[in-house]
Structure 1
Amino acid sequence: MGQTIKKNRTYGLLLVILGASFWGIGGTVAQRLFQQDNIEVGWLVSSRLLLAGILLLAVYKITHRHASIFVVWRTKQNAYRQILFSLLGMLAVQYTYMMSIAIGNSAVATLLQYLAPLFIMAYYFLTKQSPLTKQDGVAVTLTLVGTFLLLTNGSLSTLSVPFLAVLWGVLSGLSVAFYTLYAVPLLQQFHSLLVVGWSMIIGGLVMSFFHHPWAIDMSTWTFSTVIYFLFIIVFGTMLAFWFYIASLQYLSPKESSLLGSLEPLTAVVTSVWWLKISFGGYQFLGTLLILLMILYLTVFQKKQPETS
């Protein structure tokens, strides 16, 4: 029995580490497509959401053969919540994140997205669901100082990335906060693969009205372009989410979210190593402080509704 538990725990650790790493690397790969292959952000978002959503629903159907994938649409209340979650949650998260990458870089975009815990904290405080604590003060301080160093490299005269990249990154963090909070009632009723799969498809369909997935000239695509695109769909979106969810079968949500902090770390490392993004000493210090904030909030997180 002890060996089985240990084996399952090891399997869970492997899943969450792979999932977080795939998501972080996926952002860097997207940056490469934007900057070197001139892939348009809107097209990548619509294509990514549609394909990954179809794959997630397919996975659900394969693993739940006798269950209906349309169960989330059986009541008006759930349908309304699913649509709102899809547009203001999933689509907003994907688009703002990708815009921040395209204008700035994946390292900064991913780190700014991880401001989401602070926005969630502010929501609980403003709605009087949770008072501010000393732990909250420490987290806010780490985040503000870390973000300042990350974006300015220690100098007030200029930002290390364009202002619009910062704005999109902050909006991405807000979108993640909404995504996390608003999904709770749906995730309490339905499997997360269904909720996220449908949200991707709906978001992708809406984006398709503005950025047609089929309106793309692939004549200039190289073999590497195709490989990178497939990596984003399969590894950076589908498997990243699936592995994280699967890890919760073997680890506690606290452990999974703690190891999920590998996402911004992998984004920073791959951006600097692979894309040769310039990072100054103060920016590395800012990165470290934000990562410490993520770990700190995970360790001292209050018992709040889980969204997995």
Structure 2
Amino acid sequence: MGYFLTVFGGTCWAVSGACGQFLFENRGLDANWLVTMRLLLAGLLLSGYSVVRWRGKALEVFRSWRSVGALLVLGMMGLGLCQYAYFRSIELSNAATATTLQYTGLVLVMLWVAVTDRRLPRRSEVIAVACAMAGAYLLATHGDPSQLVLSTTALFWCLVGAAAFAIYSVQPRGIILRYGTLPVTGFGMLIAGLVLCVLFKPWHLVGEWDGVTVAGLIFIVIFGTLLSFCCYLEGVRRIGASKGSILAAVEPVASALLSVFWLGVPLGTMDFAGIALIVAAMVLLAGDGSAKPDQSEKSLKNR
């Protein structure tokens, strides 16, 4: 069950990215509106669930200025920027490329851990960095340095997404261990959604609206955000963080397959080679971890 839940969560993330690309290309939606509504609706549902389940304990995160500050950083610089950069890069390129390049953020996480632990990177980590950089190079240039396959803007947002992914992976560890994963993530999403509402004014509808558009939005919010996160979290709790991180490699692979067979994106040999190299980097980095259950959810239950 743990393996199934982890793979299911990663697959849902991949399908939500492909749904986003479909809505951008066929229904005229844009990343500004879609990301704002995704974070706002998912934040309301997840934080509401947390309050109902844990009552006052879920709101304890707002009782100290330090935790509120950490929550604001998570919401705006982690979740908000990560999600916006991800869907913006999909809008400018495609789901497979955006998803794969965002996972190069794992390299930044590895470098940060090495610096904070005051140690040199391990051999497997150095190889992983080389694989990730080579994969990103192939995706961006197809092996020809004189020709940039991605637009400069698309590459910029892919790299911003990778950096935000690294922030999201490292910054909230302390606050999550203290207050629990679901409340912190729910309130972080809600904060990000409210900030984006001020910037992008989502009450002005964009694009063509029909049953397909509504179904795509519902899938992105429910399956691509709430269920994917909860299933992945429960899967990692059952099988350990190391195995869970390796199984997360299903997301860029699934994104590539969906891009080719559903969205008709012409991925070539160099694209698949780049995706394979970045997935290999993920597996190498995850292989160094210990397979211990996630403690963040357990911490809230025990309080």
TM-score between the two structures when normalised by the length of structure 1 = 0.90
User: Counterparts of 1:94 and 1:72 in 2: how far apart (Å)?
Assistant: 23
2:200 maps to which residue? 211
Letter in 2 for 1:35: E
How far did residue 97 of structure 1 move? Answer: 0.8
> 1:63 offset after TM fit, Å?
3.8
User: 1:111-133, CA deviations, whole angstroms, 9 ceiling, x for partnerless residues?
Assistant: 11101111112223344533222
Alignment partner of 1:247: what SS? helix
Q: Given the alignment of the two structures, is residue 238 of structure 1 paired with residue 262 of structure 2, yes or no? A: no
Does 1:33 pair with 2:38?
no
State the SS of the aligned residue for 1:216: coil
Q: Which stretch shows the higher mean deviation, 119-128 or 229-238? A: 119-128
Q: Give the AA of the match of 1:168.
A: W
Tell me if structure 1 keeps the 8 A contact 2:28–2:206: no
2:216 aligned with 1:228, yes or no? yes
Q: Which residue of 2 aligns with 1:55?
A: 45
User: Which residue does 2:67 correspond to in 1?
Assistant: 78
Q: Which residue of 2 aligns with 1:295?
A: 283
Give the deviation of 1:32 after TM superposition: 1.0
Q: Choose which of 106, 110, 113 in structure 1 pairs with 2:102.
A: 113
Q: CA deviation at 1:20?
A: 0.4
CA contact under 8 A between 1:180 and 1:307: conserved in structure 2?
no
One-letter amino acid of the counterpart of residue 226, structure 1: V
Return closer, same or farther for 1:279/1:118 CA change in 2, 3 Å cut-off: same
Separation in structure 2 between the aligned mates of residue 125 and residue 105 of structure 1, nearest angstrom: 32
Superposed CA offset, 1:63-103 (max 9, x none): 43x44431110111111111111111111101111111111
CA distance in 1: counterparts of 2:90 and 2:254, whole angstroms: 15
Q: What aligned pairs does 1:139-218 form with structure 2 within 5 A after superposition?
A: 139-217=128-206
Structure 1 counterpart of 2:142, one-letter code? N
Percent identity of equivalent pairs: 29
What is the match of residue 19 of structure 1?
A: 9
Query: Which consecutive aligned stretches of 4+ in structure 1 deviate over 6 angstroms post-superposition?
Result: none
SS at match of 1:210: helix
Structure 2 partner of 1:129: 118
Cα displacement (A) at 1:303: 9.3
Cα contact 2:30–2:206 (8 A) shared by 1: no
- What SS does the aligned partner of 1:275 have? coil
How many equivalent residue pairs? Answer: 296
Partner AA of 1:101 in structure 2? I
Counterpart residue number, 1:256: 244
Q: Letter of the aligned partner of 2:230 in structure 1?
A: W
The answer (yes or no) to whether the contact 1:100–1:165 under 8 Å persists in 2 is yes
CA contact (8 A) 1:187 1:307 kept: no
Q: Which amino acid letter does the alignment assign opposite residue 124 of structure 2?
A: Q
Superposition RMSD in Å: 2.0
1:84 maps to amino acid: V
Structure 1 position 41, deviation (Å): 1.1
Question: Contact 1:16 / 1:260 at 8 angstroms: preserved in 2?
Answer: yes
**Alignment check: 8 A CA contact 1:12 1:246 kept:** yes
Bigger mean CA deviation after superposition, 185-194 or 250-259: 250-259
Deviation (angstroms), 1:224? 0.8
Q: CA deviation at 1:217?
A: 4.9
Taking the aligned partners of 1:225 and 1:42, their CA distance within structure 2 comes to 16
TM-score, normalised on structure 2? 0.92
Query: In the aligned structure 1, how far is the partner of 2:210 from the partner of 2:118?
Result: 52
Alignment match, 2:300: none
Q: Are the counterparts in 1 of residues 58 and 179 from structure 2 also a CA contact under 8 Å?
A: no
- Gapped regions of structure 2 (runs ≥ 5): 297-303
Could you say if the C-alpha distance between residues 68 and 124 of structure 1 is closer, same or farther in structure 2, counting changes exceeding 3 Å?
closer
Amino acid at match of 1:284: F
Q: Distance in 2 between matches of 1:261 and 1:159?
A: 26
